Chains A and B, each alone.
Chain A
Amino acid sequence: MSSATTFLLTTIMISFIINIAISLYGVFAKPSLVKKFIALTIFSDSVNSFAILIGFRRTPLGYPSIAVMPSPPQSVEDLKRFVSEAVDPVPQALVLTAVVIGLAVNMFLVGLIMLYYKYYGSTSTRRVKI
């Protein structure tokens, strides 16, 4: 692998990790529920993209192809070539469902914040005395 690719991948990975840390900081430190929610969505998106990055691989071509056969394989050689060129599908399959479930759970959280605001007139967790 060329040093430029290594440098790029390392940069992306470190930026993902820092993104995760900053968004977690937002979840913990910000008093506003809306800002907490935004930080939480950034956190889940960073983790999902990070999981996709783990599935990245090198191939004899240099870059992987998507894990889809253009047509059903005619011989064992076709299948072997597909396995040698395709990207790792497992992280994609895990992230796929996580994204949609994240959407539904985020909807639930937004509804919760909406009702919180209706009850207390503020989304701050510090100002409200329960």
Chain B
Amino acid sequence: MRLSDIAIGVSMAMLALLLSYLIVYGGLGPIATLNLRPLAVSFLNYTYNPWKIVYSAMSPEAVTAIVWDFRGLDTYFETSVLFIAIVGLIALFRGANVVQGVSSKGLSIIVKTSTKLVAPLILVAGASLAFHGHLSPGGGFQGGSFMTVAMTLLAIAFSIEFFQQKKLTLNRLLAIRCIGLLAIVVVSVYLLVKAVLLGGYAYIFQNMPRINSQYSMPSWFLDRPLAGILFFFNLSESIAVIGGLTLGVVLLLLREEELKAIIGGGEHE
């Protein structure tokens, strides 16, 4: 047992004690109070408020309203962080290419058949989670990562050469990811461009009509709430997430022969 191990252990025990002390005697306060925090009350009040549309997101789902409307710019930069993580992965595996006919063609016929049955169901469930994000729990992030599970199943059961045969190359996956991010940008400045062209005022990430601005995204589609910008954001975010994370999965599943091309295969001192 080293001295550093003991020091780390003791400091972690101190951390646990101090965190408990903070929670009990200050900071967070009691967990299950009857009253909500004022910020949460305000968010819940203006999630769907037909009487004060200038403050409202007009979405029955509070979490999606916070993520894409009240704190939309925040979420945009969080999406950028996701994008930059994928870019870092691509930079690590630069020059990688999926080679045809390297090893066996995926797993056994039983796994392939069951994957064929299950993968479309997972894709549909993820899509419903994403496109219904403004009406029920869910949203673009969750739906996109849900659909990535199906893509991962396909990549493992059919091997990553399957994607190549279906014309889903690494570059094309990156293009899908960029299209998703660009769609978010386009949706967020759409009302601004409209206001500049037609005269009047508008804001970035504007959803419903705001003070000084009468432009708005559609809040109803046929007989149900559409929540304007939220639906389009969920749509493009799910496309961006499924493109980016599938690209990451394919890069992590690269075989020995393909990895050799990246690091040269030589020994390093």
Binding site for B on A (CB under 8 A): 1, 5, 9, 13-14, 17-18, 20-22, 24-25, 28-29, 53-59, 66-73, 76, 79, 82-83, 86, 88-90, 92-93, 96-97, 99-101, 103-105, 107-108, 110-112, 114-115, 118-120
Q: Is the CB of B37 within 8 A of A88?
A: yes
Which residue in chain A gives the minimum CB-CB distance to B77?
A: A97
Q: Is the CB of A71 within 8 A of B67?
A: no
A-B complex: 3 closest residue pairs judged by Cβ atoms = A67-B62, A104-B85, A69-B60
Q: B252 contacts the other chain (Cβ, under 8 Å)?
A: yes
A28 and B9 CA atoms in complex are apart in Å by: 10
Q: Is the CB of B34 within 8 A of A57?
A: yes
> Are A115 and B20 CB-contacts (below 8 A) given A89-B44, A108-B85?
no
List 10 additional A-B contacts (Cβ < 8 Å) besides A99-B141, A120-B268: A25-B12, A57-B33, A89-B40, A96-B63, A96-B142, A104-B81, A104-B82, A104-B245, A107-B85, A111-B251
Within 8 Å CB of B28, what residues of A? 54
Q: Is the CB of B60 within 8 A of A92?
A: no
Q: B232 contacts the other chain (Cβ, under 8 Å)?
A: no
Within 8 Å CB of A96, what residues of B? 63, 67, 139, 141-142
Contact residues of A: prevailing secondary structure: helix
Within 8 Å CB of A110, what residues of B? 252
A29 and B6 CA atoms in complex are apart in Å by: 10
Q: Is the CB of A24 within 8 A of B45?
A: no
Measured CB to CB, the closest approach of chain B to A17, in angstroms, equals 5
Which residue in chain B gives the minimum CB-CB distance to A22?
A: B12
> Are A101 and B66 CB-contacts (below 8 A) given A57-B36, A66-B137, A88-B36?
no
Contact residues of B: prevailing secondary structure: helix
> Are A58 and B44 CB-contacts (below 8 A) given A104-B82, A115-B92?
no
A14 and B8 CA atoms in complex are apart in Å by: 20
Q: Is the CB of A69 within 8 A of B71?
A: no
Within 8 Å CB of B15, what residues of A? 20-21, 24
Q: B88 contacts the other chain (Cβ, under 8 Å)?
A: yes
Q: B47 contacts the other chain (Cβ, under 8 Å)?
A: yes
Which residue in chain B gives the minimum CB-CB distance to A67?
A: B62
Contact of B31 among A53, A69, A115 (CB under 8 A): A53
Contact of B13 among A21, A107, A118 (CB under 8 A): A21
A57 and B81 CA atoms in complex are apart in Å by: 31
